[in-house]
């Protein structure tokens, strides 16, 4: 199962990816984690990326795509992979498609997790992090025990303004890639509203079809 995970920030892609790893026995490849790992390993592409980042520049798409091809060629991707965080724009999607085709890699599905903007804002604004355990709570959906409430942290990027800004970027730049995959018959949409178990059940049923 070779798939790309797509959805607005806060839709639960990371949560579902962790669950799908166990179900399908394929790795979750976050573009950010992959980039950091390549830099740490000191690969040629990692060194190139590190140079751009140290200069305060964005890592070029061709470098990121090279890393993706390098990563999915590893033995743990023999049964497939879940790519998360890339592509984010139409040029990136087109370049990744061309590179994968040239490498003989065929996508099976592009999984879109749909959640209304209003709920994403509510999820984010109510999120609280426990700095001692790393656990994430929500003031409404998953309240913390009263005795630890005072030590929880509300991250600066979990404000309504910051979340709205991320959503605007998603709708302006990332959402337009969806028709490309829909035309190829790869796009599958799943309702991301509900408990993690409910959403996973929908995803599993969708992928089974």
- Enumerate the H helices of 108-159 as residue ranges: 117-125
Task: Tell me, yes or no, if 40 is annotated catalytic.
Answer: no
Neighbours of 185 (CB within 10 A): 9
- Reply yes or no on whether 202 is catalytic: no
Helices (H), 42-187: 44-54, 61-72, 90-102, 117-125, 160-169, 178-183
Residue 82 burial by CB count (10 A; 0-12/13-18/19+): exposed, middle or buried? buried
Per-residue tokens: 12: 């639960």
Active-site entry in 13, 71, 188, 200: 13
The answer to whether residue 71 is catalytic is no
Residue 155 annotated as catalytic: yes
Catalytic residue (one of 127, 128, 188, 200) = 127
Catalytic residue among 74, 155, 165, 184: 155
Active-site choice (2, 166, 189, 202): 166
CB 113 within 8 A of CB 11: yes
Residue pair 175/162 in contact by the 8 Å Cβ criterion: no
DSSP letters for 39-65: HHHT-HHHHHHHHHHHTT-PPPHHHHH
Active-site hit among 2, 19, 88, 202: 88
Using CA atoms, how far apart are residues 141 and 122, in angstroms rounded to an integer? 10
Active-site residue 165, yes or no?
A: no
Catalytic residue positions, numbered = 13, 88, 127, 155, 166
């Amino acid at each position: 199962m070779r798939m790309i995970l797509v959805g607005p920030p806060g839709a639960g892609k990371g949560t579902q990816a962790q669950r799908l790893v166990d179900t399908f026995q394929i790795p979750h490849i976050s573009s950010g984690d992959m980039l950091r790992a390549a830099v740490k390993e000191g690969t040629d592409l990692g060194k190139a990326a590190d140079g751009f980042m140290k200069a305060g520049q964005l890592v070029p798409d061709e470098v990121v795509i090279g890393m993706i091809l390098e990563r999915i060629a590893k033995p743990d991707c023999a049964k497939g992979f879940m790519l998360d965080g890339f592509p984010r724009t139409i040029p990136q999607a087109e370049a990744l498609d061309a590179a994968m085709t040239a490498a003989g890699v065929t996508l099976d599905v592009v999984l879109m997790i749909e959640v209304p903007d209003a709920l994403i804002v509510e999820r984010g604004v109510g999120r609280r992090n426990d700095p001692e355990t790393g656990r994430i709570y929500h003031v409404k959906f998953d309240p913390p025990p009263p005795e630890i409430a005072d030590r929880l942290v509300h991250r600066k990027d979990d404000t309504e303004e910051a979340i709205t800004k991320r959503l605007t970027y998603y709708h302006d730049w990332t959402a337009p890639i969806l028709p490309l995959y829909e035309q190829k018959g790869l796009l599958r949409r799943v309702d991301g509203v509900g408990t993690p178990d409910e959403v996973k059940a929908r995803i599993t049923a969708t992928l089974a079809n």
